[in-house]
Every structure is written in structure tokens, then in C-alpha cells.
Amino acid sequence: MKILRGTPASPGLAIGSAHTIRPAPPVDIIARRTTDASEETARLEQAIAQAITRMETLQSAAQGATADILAAQREMMDDPELKQGAIDLIEEGFKAEAAITRVATSYAEQLASLPDEYLSARAADVQEASRRIVAELQGVTLTVQLDHTAILVAQDLAPAETVGLNPSLLQAIVTETGSATGHLAIVAQGLGIPAVVGVTDALFQVTEGATLIVDGDQGTVTIDPDQESRAKIEQRLMASLQEKKDLEIYRDRPGTTADGVHIEVFANIGSLAEAQKAVEMGAEGVGLFRTEFLAAQGLPTEEAQYTIYKDVASALQRPLIIRTFDIGGDKPIPGLDIPPEANPFLGWRGIRLALDRPEEVFLPQIRAILRAGATHDVRIILPMIVAPDEVELARTLTEQALQELEKQGQPARRVPIGIMVETPAAAVTLDQFRGLIDFASIGTNDLVQYTYAVDRTNSHVRDRARPLGIATLRLIAQICRAGIPVAVCGKLAGDIEAIPLLVGLGVRELSVPPPRVPVVKRVLAEKTLGEMEKLAKQAIKEY
């Protein structure tokens, strides 16, 4: 038995056998073949055919923007010039792996040098297509697919690599890199799958098929657990199963306090799979659809976005609040050149970037949302707002987009617009936004970070931030007095201790990861509104 430690990224407990995904070694681009040319060419052709078949399977499981990317990559694998170029190099004496990598790199360089940002971003697709062909040549599996229940152990998982995963077979995720707030953590939380990230050496320590216990609360991975640990785990699994069952009664009822005041319990999502999970967990709507995940491979087109928003809204059949791209220097987007910044959290991100580059970032997204609004209850929420004039500009652009759509004969509808309150500036002046916005949602993670001047990714200062400190609570109290409906969609919304305080201060909607929805409803039902107000009053120490 051996215990590895990492960062807890998604809560829960799992016991199962490990499925390891080992990264392909770098390709030696000067490697010479040891076989004759025709044999090496045959190897290459077979690898290309296999890579294409595998890609087609992946494509059938993908949706929206990811599906488009995979389609482009598949087409590239099938490119006659790519193949011929590689065959020529094989004739010259190169190994198939080296030949295909060289040709692909040359195309990638040509594409990268084009002035069109979209086309230059396709360079990454050629590299990926070639990487997949090389994987076939070397007999390494890149596509993460499960045909039996397992715990995935990988160096890291890219968004495209999680597409083909069947959530019902995936027991837990362990990765060597990654952070508690990274993409993988959010995906795992959304699907309710335990995850531990940042487990250095995991792939070195864990052999394929080994029995593992993953504790997503503690951040530990136990390899080959002994009898005693197993028994303990089984017991805890039974208990959590029972808890899940107990929570089922909350699924189909709306969130209410003990005295029957309705508090909406919404879900935070980032994908269609999570939208389905939200419905399954009894969310009354989606309070935060993080669209930046759709841009992991470059900004999706209006059409691709429209399809996704419509699909997600149809799956929900309840309100869907879409946050416009919250991107910036800390999350590079292929094809979108944002200069490196010393302080990306104080930099050119969120609405700032969107409004400065409307044709590229803001308008395609707004048009897609307005079009989805023709048939579904969708709403817009703007990130990183600090002043009303930003909303005025966003509104003007939205009106223009609406008129243009009407002129083009595209069905569209004006939708409610709200803002994220995640800066102290917006928090203390929210009353100034009256008449401009239909609702506000507090992003507590950022609000706490900006209030306490604490970078939440810096482990030296992380603990100095006080999510439930008086400063946070007083800001929330002030936000709630602005006369605008207020929601909370940050981490605090799902915190058992925080929920009564938030509601007591005046918050009327809580938006949390889908698996958390029933828990929030249970906590709400434990106290009356009056009791929560009293607790809140004590907590902010204003008498």
C-alpha cells in the first residue's frame, strides 16, 4: 500500500482500477528508417487510416465547437499532399514518424504565418493531426476512451480528450498537473466525479490496472490499499450513497426556506453534459454558463455558438444565463493575440477585451445568444464590470446586433441583461446600475480576491483571504440594498455555513455546481428567513 498526495479538485470518494494514459514521447525528427521505403510507407498509410477511424468515433461523440475542430483535424489527416510529402521524405530515408512530423510542421509554419488569425490558429490542428498519426505509428493511445469502469490516471487531460469519455464509466480522475480551479477540476465537479490533481509522479507510481482509492476531499490517492483501508472506504461509500438517497427528496422541489420563502437554486455549467446533470439534480435553471470552455481551441463562430446555446437551452427547458467570454491574459485562447501581462487578473480581460474588440469577441457571441433567445429563455451576464458606462456600451452593441439580425430576417429576441458583481467598484455602486440591468450575480471567488488583494493561486497568501469575513459580507449586504435582484454564483453559494448568511443578507438565487443543488436545497430548508436574517446581522457586526 502506498499513499500519494495531490490537490483536491473535485469532492467524492472512489475505489476502482487504474487506467493510465501515458503521453507520447517527443518525435525524433532526424530518425532514419531501418526498413525499406515501401514497408515504411505501408506503415504510414496504415497509421493514417487508423487515426482517421479513431477520429471519426471521437467526432460522433463531440458537440458544437469541439465537433468542428475534430472534423477539421480529420480532414487534415486525410490530406493527399500531407501524405505525399511524408512519402517523399520516407524515400529520402526518414522514418515514418519523422517524415509526417516534418511535413506537418512545415504546413503548421505556413499557416501560422498567415495574417488571418483564424487560419493561423489552424496550425495547432495540423500539429494535433500529426501527433495522432504518430501515436498510431507508435501504438500509443491518445484518445481517452473507457469500455469499462475505471479511474483515469494521466499527465493532464485536454478538453478535446475528455469529449469521448462516458461519465457513467469514469469513477475518478488523477492527474500529475493541474490546479484546483483549472479546467479539469471544473469539468469533474460538474459531472460529480472525484478528482485529485497535481499528483507528481502519478504515472510513475501507478501501474495499469492497479487498485486505487481516490479521495477527492482529502486529495489523496491510495495504491493497492490494504484490507483495513478497503473496509473503511466501503463504509464511507455506503454512507455517502445513503446521503445521496436522502437528498433525492429535494431534487424535485423548489428551494425554499423553512417558512416557505422561495430561493432559486440554479446550477453553474460549462458544457451540454453538465446541463443534463443540472436537470438530473433538480436545478431550477442555470445561473452561470461559462462560455470560455467553448473557446479552448479558439473563438467559436457565431453559428457554432448558436448551436451550442440552443442545444443547452433545449436540454434545460428552464432559464439559462450565459456569461459572455471571460477570457484574458491568464487563459490564452488560440488565434486571439493578447499580449502577456504582469497582472492578468487586473488586466485586459472579460468585458474589457470584449468591448475593445467587438467584431471579433463580443458581437458573434451576442448575435448567437439573441438568436437562441428567439426560441428559449436565455439571458446575458457580463463579466468584470466596474462602471455603468460599460453596460451602456454593451447594450448599444446588443441593440445594434438585434436590429441587424432583424434586417437579415434572422429570428432573434431582446433578452434580459445582467452583470457579474466581482469587483469592489461594482459592489459599492450597484445602485448606479438601476434601470440599466435586469439582475446581478456575485462572483464571490473574484470579489474576495479583489477585496482582500489576495491572488488565490498563490499558496503563500491564499489563506489570508476571508471568504466569509466582515469585508465580504458587508459588500454583499450593500449589493443587496441596490434594488436589483441579486444572485450568488461563486464558491460561497454552495458553502453550508455561507448559505444562511447570504440569504439573510438578501440574496434570492444561489447558483452552484450541479451535484451541489440538492445539498443547497436541504440547507435552505433548515432555517426560516427570519433566523437567517438574524444570523446575517450578527455576522456583519452592524448594530
Q: Which residues of this protein are in contact with another protein, per CB under 8 A?
A: 68, 71-72, 75-76, 79-82, 107, 110-111, 114-116, 118-119, 122, 125-126, 301, 303
The CA distance from 423 to 426, in Å, is 5
Q: What is the DSSP letter of 23?
A: P
Kindly tell me which of 72 and 454 has the beta carbon lying closer to another protein: 72
Residue 134: strand, helix, or coil: helix
The CA distance from 64 to 67, in Å, is 5
Q: How far is the CB of 76 from another protein (least distance, A)?
A: 6
Kindly tell me which of 63 and 528 has the beta carbon lying closer to another protein: 63
Which amino acid is present at 172?
A
Q: How far is the CB of 356 from another protein (least distance, A)?
A: 22
CB distance 186 to 3 below 8 Å = no
Long-range contacts of 166-171 (CB under 8 A, 24+ apart): 167/191, 167/193, 167/273, 170/146, 171/14, 171/15, 171/16, 171/214
Catalytic residue among 19, 148, 183, 376: 183
CB distance 522 to 250 below 8 Å = yes
CB distance 221 to 6 below 8 Å = yes
Q: What is the DSSP letter of 515?
A: G
Q: What is the DSSP letter of 300?
A: P
Q: How far is the CB of 108 from another protein (least distance, A)?
A: 9
The CA distance from 508 to 493, in Å, is 11
Catalytic residue among 19, 376, 480, 489: 489
The CA distance from 280 to 248, in Å, is 10
* Residue 36 phi, psi dihedral angles, 5° rounding: -85, 165
Q: How far is the CB of 163 from another protein (least distance, A)?
A: 18
The CA distance from 392 to 397, in Å, is 9
Kindly tell me which of 118 and 345 has the beta carbon lying closer to another protein: 118
Kindly tell me which of 132 and 379 has the beta carbon lying closer to another protein: 132
Give me the residue label for grid cell 444570523: 535
Q: Is 148 exposed, middle or buried (0-12, 13-18, 19+ CB in 10 A)?
A: exposed
Q: What is the DSSP letter of 464?
A: G
The CA distance from 275 to 389, in Å, is 33
The CA distance from 473 to 458, in Å, is 23
The CA distance from 543 to 532, in Å, is 16
The CA distance from 206 to 197, in Å, is 14
C-alpha cell belonging to residue 319: 432559464
Per the annotation, the verdict on 480 as an active-site residue is no
Kindly tell me which of 16 and 335 has the beta carbon lying closer to another protein: 335
CA-based angle 479:481:485, to the nearest 5?
A: 75
C-alpha cell belonging to residue 38: 515501401
The CA distance from 467 to 481, in Å, is 20
Q: How far is the CB of 294 from another protein (least distance, A)?
A: 16
CB distance 404 to 370 below 8 Å = no
Q: How far is the CB of 62 from another protein (least distance, A)?
A: 15
Kindly tell me which of 75 and 389 has the beta carbon lying closer to another protein: 75
Q: What is the DSSP letter of 375?
A: T
Residues facing 298 on adjacent strands: 296
DSSP string of 233-259, one letter each residue? HHHHHHHHHHHHHHHHHHHTS--B-TT
The CA distance from 180 to 462, in Å, is 13
Per the annotation, the verdict on 183 as an active-site residue is yes
* Active site amino acids: 183, 489
